[in-house]
Structure 1
Amino acid sequence: MADGVIRGGRRLGVIDPARLDRNFLLEQAVDATGLDDFGDRWFERPFDVLLDSVRHEAQLNAAGDFSAMKMFHHVLRDRLYTQMWFARHPEILARPLKNPVVIVGPMRSGTTRLHRLLASDKRFAHLRSFETISPVPRPEFEAVLAGEAEDFRPKLASRILKVARLANPRTLSIHPTGPFEPEEELGLVAASMYGMKWEAQWHVPGYSEWCASESAVPAYRHMANLLRLIGWSQQESSLRPWILKTPQHMLDLPALLEVFPDARLIFTHRDPRQVVGSAASLAWNQTTIYTDRVSPEETGRQWLDKTEQMIAKMRSARDAIPRDRMIDVQYEDMERDWRETMERVYRFLGLDMEPAVPAMQRYLDRSANLKRNPHRYSLEEFGLSEGEVNERFADYTEIYGIPVEGRAAPMSRRVAK
C-alpha cells in the first residue's frame, strides 16, 4: 500500500523522486539543522559504497528508496546533533566506559535473551529500544533534564514500531520489543554508515564485500562516543559497566577490543541450522518490505555465507584474547536451565547473581507476553538443506561442543580456540 501511494504521489508531483546522492543528502541534513559539523568524516567512505550498492544492486521499490532517503537523513541529522552536544558539553567525551560486558554471537543464537537478563540487573547500564532508534537527543533536551519537558523519543519509537509491525506483522514474533526494552547497539555502529544493519534490509553485496575488507575502528570509536552521550542523557553513573551485544561484533572483534580494551566477552553458540534458518527469515522479512525482486533462495545463500564469515572471523580473533576474559554459553543450556547458566556467567563476572534474580524473573514473565506467536521458519523455504549446513559448520560445532540434533552431545566440551 505504501509503495502504491508513493508511486502515485510521484506521478502527481506531490512526492519528490528519491535522490540517493551523498552531497545532496549531506546538504539536506545541514539545511534541516542549521549545523555543519559531522564529526569524523570517515563515514563518507562506507556511505559512498553503500549508496552505490543501493543504486545498482538493491533494486528498491518506491517504498524502499523513499525509506532509504528517510533513514539516511535520520543518521546524518543525528551526526550533526551529536557534535552539537559534544560542543555544548565537552564533559560527555570524558565519561569512562570501563569493563563493558559484550555478548558476541551469531544472529538468533540467544543473544537477546542473555542481553535482557543481564540488563535487568541495575548494576549494569544498557540501551533502551527508543535510544537505538533515536540515540541522539534534540537541541531542546536540556529542558527534559530540567524536568520542564518530556522526551519525545519514546513516543516516536512507539509509532515507528507500530508502523514496522503494520508493514510486516511477523516482526513481533521474530524480535519482540517495545520502546523501553533493552536493545542492542547495531544502530550506533550504523551511525557511521557501516555494518550489518544495512545488509539485513537491502541486497547490497558490493557494500558487504567492502566492509569485510575494512577496519571498523572509526565506526566503533563513534559508537563509543554515542554510548557516552546516551549515558549522559540517561544521567547514568559512568561507574556502571555497559551491557552490549550485536552480531556485528563477530565480524569486528579486533576493532571492538581496540576501542574497549578491557571488555569482558560472552560468546553464544547455537546449532547452525537454527542460526542460518532464523537469520535468513529475519533478513527476508526485512528485505521484502523494500524490494519486489529478491528470492528466498538468494536470501538463504547470502545468510549461509554471512554466518560462515562471521564465525570464521570470530574464531580467528579469539586467538589473541586471554582465556580469563571470555566465556562460552550454549543456547541449549539456556533453554534447559537459564538460572544455572546465568550463575556460571555471574561467576565469570565476579558478581553475586541473587540480587538480580527477581528482576530477571520479571523480564522472563514480561517477555512471554511480548512474544505472542513463535517465530516459524525452515531451511527448505530458503533453498537450503540440513546436510549442507551441517557439513559447512561441522568443525565449528565440534570445536565448540555445540549440541546438534541427530548427533550425540560431546561428553565434555573442548576448550574453544
Structure 2
Amino acid sequence: MQLQGSYFFLVFLGIVSVTIDCSDHEHENTTMTTFNVLDYGAVSGGTTDNSRAFLEAWNAACSSEAENPTLIIPRRRFLLNPIIFNGPCNAQNINFLILGRLLAPKSPEAWKELDPGQWLAFHGVNGLKVAGPGTIDGRGQGWWDQSCKYHPKLVGCTSRAPTALKVLSCKKSSLRDIHVINSSQAHILIEGCDGIHIENLIIEAPGNSPNTDGIHIQASHNVIINNTIIGSGDDCVSIGDHISNIAISYVKCGPGHGISIGSLGKSGNFVQVENIHVSKVSLQGTTNGVRIKTWQVGKGYVRGVTFEDIFLDSVKNPIIIDQNYCKVSGACEELPTGVHISDVSFNNFYGTSSTNVAINLNCSRSVPCTGILLKSIYLRSAKLGQNVTSSCRNAYGIAFGVVQPSPCIQI
C-alpha cells in the first residue's frame, strides 16, 4: 500500500515541468513585437515602485498592431504597488512573460485609500498568456499580522486583504509555469471569465496563513487546472457560484483545506454550479479532502460533480457534504430551503483519515442530496489500531465497491 502512494507522487512530480525558455530577454533581444519593462523606465532591486513603467509597457503592448505582442519582465526583482492591466487589446493574443520576481509592498500602508483586496489584476483581456518561470511574491506577512481571523482583539484588524493575482472578465487565456507565493489573502482569483487554462503552477504559503486560498473560481466557465502544486492556509482550490465546466486534475494539495465547492447560498441567492470534474488529486495532511458546503438559506443547485482517483494521506475529512453550513458549526437552525445537491460521484478514493468519520454526508431534511454515488473506496485510519466510519443524513444514492468505511447512504 505504501508503494502505491509513493508511486503516485513520483508520477506527479514527473509531470510538472517548466516549458518556457529561461533566456534573459534583455535589451539586445527586444524587437518590435516585444516590450521590455526596462525600456519603459523600470528599475530593478525591489525598492523602487515600478507601477508606472509596467503600465506604460503594457499599454504599448496592448495597443500594438503586432500579431503576438509580448511584455517581458527580465530576471530581476521589481517592486509593484497595486496595478490593473486593462484590455481589450488589439491583438488576439498578448503574452505577459515573467522571468524575474514581482514583489508586493511589505506594508499594508501602501494600500491606503486604495482597494485593499487587489494587488495585480488583468481586466477585460482576451487571449492573455501569462507565463513564467518567474515568481509573484505577495509578501503577505504584514497583512497576516493584522488579520481579524487570527487577531480578533487587535484594534484596526483587517478582514480583507489583497489577492496576489486577479484575472477578471477575460476569455481564452492561460496562466502557466509561474510560482505564486505568500499572498496576503487568496493567491489567484478567476472571476467573470470563460476559457481559462491554468497549468504547471506552484502556489505556496504557510499552513497557518489566514484565508490564503490557492485558486478561487467565481462566475466563470470552461476552466482547466492541471499539473499544479498548492500548499496554503485555506482551500487549495475553491469553487464559488455561477460556475460550469470546470476540470481539475493532477493537483497536489497540502497544507490547506482541500478542494472545496462553496460555501454557497449564504445570502439566500439562487446557486448555479454544474459540471465539475476533479481527478487524480493527492491531498496530504489537509483539513478536508473534497468538500461541498452550502447554507440552508440558499436556493438553486449543485449538480453533475465527479471526484475520482483521489489519494489522501492523513486527511481530517476525506469526503464531506455539508448542506447545513452556518456561522456556528453544529448549531444551525433547520430551514425549509436549501441548495439541491445532486448527481455527485466519489469514485476510487484511497488513503488515510486522521479522524474517525471518513465519509460525512450531512444533507438537508427539506432538500436532501440525491443521486450520490460512492464507488471503489478504501479509507483507513491514520491512527494505528483505529477504525473509520461513515455518517449520513438525508443522503440518497447507491454505493458499491466501498471496502471501508461501511457506506450509510440511503437507496
TM-score (normalised: structure 1): 0.30
Answer 1 or 2: which has greater helix percent. 1
Answer 1 or 2: which has greater strand percent. 2
* Larger-Rg structure: 2
Structure ranking higher on relative contact order (CA contacts 8 Å, 6+ apart): 1
TM-score (normalised: structure 2): 0.30
